[in-house]
Chains A and B, each alone.
Chain A
């Protein structure tokens, strides 16, 4: 048995050149083979990759999709983000629990099923959703959950759960997903197919010098679409000018911000546009290697995307003398993630590509100076790279005149929550929230979360604000909350998410978010008092200022923005008078165990 294990592990490691920096792939394959990474398996991997075993443990224990202990053959991951909650997710989860006879977090005695919660899987427009192994199931109901369990128990493969395929490439033989695109509005840059001429952008780029390509991107005023809005041309210029033995283009497709799913639709419907953009980026910065970092939740798209890459290789667009350009040898590999939101942070993403736990790196140096394997690296968002292709195809002038004059181009918005038409909207920059709400059929909203949990919660008095870099900058997640929604419950959910997803590297984020969550829970339980608001404000400010990376620097935003825009929600719950006591202390609760043990009641309660 153990010889066998070593042999299999050795084969897997050989597949990746026994290169320790490919440990993500090695562990992923070993996991797929054995269901978990046992201690013996960790030893075998360590031996083959010539790396300490604790490094293997370190990686395995970091990612939610990896386990060091046996997991069931079928792992059902219930997406529990706020939009799923709003769409009666609880009924679905309870049904799964009842039908399987276990609680979420447990495995059935026969080892057949595990139930787990997972944060947003990028299906908010078709919630409630779940991942059953790699298979995505959407629009779940209690009845459907019952059927799913019945089918799985009768031995059916999870892939067999998909009865009807979604639209477009979701029905492609390499995808075969029930996921739907929900493209509600097509804009001129990404989804308007009318005038798109595949290959033209790349051809035009290769006819220019790399410096000219960078200038074109600068002239187009293209800024990063991931949320931070850094000028793409400037990023490329820094990368190109940094000394190094090689350079790398990385596309960040770790779309993990709850409520966003537009990259999923791009990857499904416009993969060539993206890969063309990566190739142009490679040419511009002088890279030979591109990496698409694909979040583990989108594993169902991997075979399809690999196939697109193979087709591009076959037609000469990738590989030696790419697209016929002598001396330009560019190729792309897909790096799968494994369930870690923090890997959307570019330096954490690089760590993950290097076969490490997804810890963000110290900055400076910035990736443009020293990124992937210590060499200059440009990390761009999926949508940004699609824009690049179109800019090179149609010219920077064409691109920069789209938008509101300041922010150029279109923005893909992922809209979900309380609205009639959830889905992806490609809209020129400058649209107001009010206009957007009307389009989506959610005009009665009481609040809108712009930019996901790390963004801000906006109230009706600010619905006149514009989506653009100068006003409401966003990576594209728009969650709509209608009348009657409990906004503090939303905030609570978001903080739960950040507590779960903090990498734990730095003190403020690792501890501070838990403390914020504790006090929020206390207030929601009706045990808060006025001083708790000042307490929260101090924590929020400190965690934002002192955290090491973008996760911690934005994680208190749900509390910060609601304390500002919805303070009355907090105030309504506060106790007026505490008489010197700590309202959170509950004597009844504290003596309950002893009462049970002694079989008598407390005389003090």
Chain B
């Protein structure tokens, strides 16, 4: 079982252990495949589709597709990057993302991804959906305007915190993040120290009273594009 799998990404040869996904193997090799819903330590969810690559010519999400012997993977191509811009722009127009006053700005992975791709405005029309805010919890709040339905909080609450605070309800355009209490987040057993309270890639699930703590210029993505930490592995 310990035999290594050999495959290529954009012509670069790399190795994976059996069962490892394309994305994990790429990370280890210092090749960045953009992603939003995938987070280290969590089961892949496969919802955002940003990590779509071509495997032997067929589109697959790199976060869920195991690496296979002699696979030819295309990642950093004009076409795939255009699909990725589309995904980012779709997420921006689908919600209400007011970056200028969002606590997460500068540390937001969606925003950072847009920066990385040099997006100055989405090509799609804004939808301005009517969504609500849940501030019933003393320490944590949900702003559904910013939710990108990635599923991180759902998975983390179950798998890491051993709770069931979050789950999706509704279907299609009506799909939204819900909580395990009719009384709102404040009625659940979520604690501010729970991992689920800090995995949100955007400003949808945020801790109260800690916003804007880091000055502009020193925030996570102010100077370095998202993914740099992985790409720097390659240099080492």
List A467-521 residues whose CB lies under 8 Å from chain B.
499-508, 510-512, 514-515, 518
Q: Chain A residues with Cβ under 8 A from B174's Cβ?
A: 61, 504
Tell me the smallest distance from the CB of A6 to a CB of chain B, in Å. Answer: 16
A364 near B172 (CB under 8 angstroms)?
Answer: no
A504 near B90 (CB under 8 angstroms)?
Answer: no
> Contacting chain A: which of B135-143, B162-170, B213-221, B224-232?
B162-170
Closest-by-CB residue of B relative to A64 is: B171
The proximity string for B residues 196-209 relative to A, scoring 1 for CB distances below 8 Å and 0 otherwise, is 00000000000000
Is residue A58 contacting chain B, with contact meaning CB distance below 8 A? yes
Tell me the smallest distance from the CB of B97 to a CB of chain A, in Å. Answer: 13
Tell me the smallest distance from the CB of B83 to a CB of chain A, in Å. Answer: 5
Closest-by-CB residue of A relative to B52 is: A546
Tell me the smallest distance from the CB of A129 to a CB of chain B, in Å. Answer: 23
Is residue B107 contacting chain A, with contact meaning CB distance below 8 A? no
Is residue A548 contacting chain B, with contact meaning CB distance below 8 A? yes
Contacts A362-B46, A362-B64, A535-B123 given: A546-B87 contact, CB under 8 Å?
A: yes
Contacts A61-B171, A504-B170, A546-B49 given: A511-B44 contact, CB under 8 Å?
A: no
> Would you call the interface of chain A mostly helix, strand, loop, or mixed?
helix
B172 near A501 (CB under 8 angstroms)?
Answer: yes
Tell me the smallest distance from the CB of A360 to a CB of chain B, in Å. Answer: 10
Q: Chain A residues with Cβ under 8 A from B66's Cβ?
A: 364
Tell me the smallest distance from the CB of B233 to a CB of chain A, in Å. Answer: 26
Is residue B182 contacting chain A, with contact meaning CB distance below 8 A? yes
Is residue B173 contacting chain A, with contact meaning CB distance below 8 A? yes
Contacts A362-B64, A515-B124 given: A504-B82 contact, CB under 8 Å?
A: no
A508 near B171 (CB under 8 angstroms)?
Answer: no
Q: How many residues of B contact A (CB 8 A)?
A: 43
Contacts A57-B169, A514-B173, A546-B59 given: A505-B47 contact, CB under 8 Å?
A: yes
Q: How many residues of A contact B (CB 8 A)?
A: 39
Q: How far is the CA of A545 from the CA of B166 in the complex (A)?
A: 30
Q: How far is the CA of A595 from the CA of B48 in the complex (A)?
A: 42
B65 near A364 (CB under 8 angstroms)?
Answer: yes
Closest-by-CB residue of A relative to B170 is: A61
B178 near A54 (CB under 8 angstroms)?
Answer: yes
List A515-537 residues whose CB lies under 8 Å from chain B.
515, 518, 535
Q: How far is the CA of A535 from the CA of B86 in the complex (A)?
A: 11
Q: Which of B65, B90, B180 contacts A507 (CB 8 A)?
A: B90
Q: How far is the CA of A543 from the CA of B103 in the complex (A)?
A: 31
Q: How far is the CA of A340 from the CA of B175 in the complex (A)?
A: 14
Contacts A54-B166, A518-B125 given: A511-B47 contact, CB under 8 Å?
A: no
Contacts A362-B44, A501-B172 given: A52-B164 contact, CB under 8 Å?
A: yes
Is residue A97 contacting chain B, with contact meaning CB distance below 8 A? no
B172 near A538 (CB under 8 angstroms)?
Answer: no
Is residue B5 contacting chain A, with contact meaning CB distance below 8 A? no
Q: Chain A residues with Cβ under 8 A from B169's Cβ?
A: 54, 57-58, 61-62
Q: How far is the CA of A57 from the CA of B87 in the complex (A)?
A: 28
B180 near A52 (CB under 8 angstroms)?
Answer: yes
A510 near B172 (CB under 8 angstroms)?
Answer: yes
A52 near B149 (CB under 8 angstroms)?
Answer: no
B48 near A499 (CB under 8 angstroms)?
Answer: no
Is residue B61 contacting chain A, with contact meaning CB distance below 8 A? yes
Q: Which of A518, A545, A548 contacts B83 (CB 8 A)?
A: A545
B82 near A54 (CB under 8 angstroms)?
Answer: no
12 A-B contacts (beta carbon < 8 Å)? A53-B181, A57-B169, A57-B178, A58-B167, A62-B170, A62-B171, A362-B46, A499-B173, A503-B171, A504-B168, A504-B171, A506-B46
**Which residues in A have some Cβ–Cβ distance to B below 8 Å?**
39, 43, 52-55, 57-58, 61-62, 340, 357, 362-364, 499-508, 510-512, 514-515, 518, 535, 538-539, 542, 545-548
**Which residues in B have some Cβ–Cβ distance to A below 8 Å?**
44-50, 52, 59, 61, 64-66, 82-83, 86-87, 90-91, 93-94, 123-125, 127, 148-149, 164, 166-175, 178-182
5 smallest CB-CB distances across A and B, nearest first, come from A504-B175, A511-B90, A52-B164, A54-B180, A54-B167
